[in-house]
Amino acid sequence: VGVWLDVGSRYENEKNNGVGNFVEHLVFKGTKKRPGTAFEKEVESMGAHLNSYTSREKTAFFMKALSKDLPKVVEILADAVQNCSLEDSQIEKERNVILQEMKEIDGSLSDVVFDYLHATAYQGTALGQTVEGTTKNVKTLSRASLVEYIETHFKAPRMVLAAAGGVSHKELVDLAQQHFGNVPYQYKEDAVPVLPRCRFTGSEIRVRDDALPLAHVAVAVEGPGWANSDNIPLLVANSVIGRYDLTFGGGKNQSSKLAALSVEHKLCHSFQTFNTCYSDTGLFGFYFVSDKMNIEDTMHVAQGEWMRMCTSVTESDVKRAKNILRSTFVSLLDGTTPVCETIGSHVLNYGRRISLAEWDARISEVDARTVREVCSKYLYDKCPAVAAVGPIEQLPDYNRVRSAMYWLRF
């Protein structure tokens, strides 16, 4: 069972960036009715798991428990989300926890690269900020700013209560009315927070550090928002390009052309494609890790694959990619927690839950021509955003990267 909220670091500004992540840390640290230790004891005595996360546009609090405990679980979640105590002692304690977490994130270079990618692609807008916020903000955020954030954003129209597993819909609805019936849905002075459009800027961030063993590079163009029908052809294109890791068996007999070339020419240690969606924009691109002497070749081959998607991708490629994509969608529903996650995020993103059958029908409609047209729309002759960390002396100049976004053909 979980509560999904349509709020994240995109709703913050420079002064309070990180407040959403801070609130998420404090929600399970005790409520007015259940002080810290009592809250933890109650959850543990049920044998339940508590978890939560904050992203750029979503916040989620969820619990995994036995189905007979459903009424208790909904009551605890409702209490935590509505009556979080935000004690000063807990706030001070969490500051250090968050700072420690930020240190750990700095050690994970893939996270660092994606934060840099957002910072450059959405520079000057709220999407450019990290979810954790700045160290300065974490050290200075006051209880008042946390309370203000909760009062502004934790509103009924932006909440979804979702459950999966052994639960009946009617029971959940009755419990929601009982425990979430008092969640306010009016805003102060009727000021509903409207998201400003986050513009995409083709640009780059390079953090050269020759002491690191490997270079981490991410390249992305602006993609569509959640509800856009172009997402499926783009996901099919990503499946054609595929992914690769040094640990994969199969040598150069990989189905992905880029993977086969990587093995044959020992290009990169790993690469993956991504399509990160937000409500009105997205990042569509690839990320690779390579040693310092193979960056240029990997970029050349990867951008060549992008151009192939726009100009000459074949039906057999697309057919294979569609099957890979179908199995990816099915594997996302492996267990009650992912199913619950799917329901919560779908209702926030699309206003309803999209069934597997509908995804399958949408995937079936895609053919090579659709992939070529949609890729041309988003990739061909567009300015990419580039973020790179590590020994990246060999990364081509931005103008070179930009000029590989089209082909001169005669």
Is residue 397 within 8 A of residue 296, CB to CB? The reply is no
Q: What does the DSSP assignment read for 59-100?
A: EEEEEE--GGGHHHHHHHHHHHHH-B---HHHHHHHHHHHHH
Catalytic residue among 24, 132, 204, 341: 24
Is residue 95 within 8 A of residue 140, CB to CB? The reply is no
Burial class (CB in 10 A: 0-12, 13-18, 19+), 220: buried
* Cα gap 117→16, rounded to integer Å: 21
Is residue 224 within 8 A of residue 278, CB to CB? The reply is no
Residue 14 falls in the annotated catalytic set: no
Q: Give the residue among 177, 160, 147, 197 at the shortest CA–CA distance from 75.
A: 177
Phi, psi of 55 (to 5 degrees): -125, -165
Query: For strand 49-54 and strand 59-64, is the pairing parallel, antiparallel, or unpaired?
Result: antiparallel
Tokens, residue 62: 């969820």
Q: Give the residue among 16, 208, 52 at the shortest CA–CA distance from 129.
A: 16
Is residue 49 within 8 A of residue 63, CB to CB? The reply is yes
Judged by phi (left if over 0) then psi (alpha if -120 to 50, else beta), residue 126 lies in alpha
Alpha-helical runs (H) found in 181-335: 231-241, 257-264, 295-311, 315-331
Beta pairing partners, 272: 287
Degrees, nearest 5: CA angle 241-248-375? 5
Give catalytic residue positions. 24
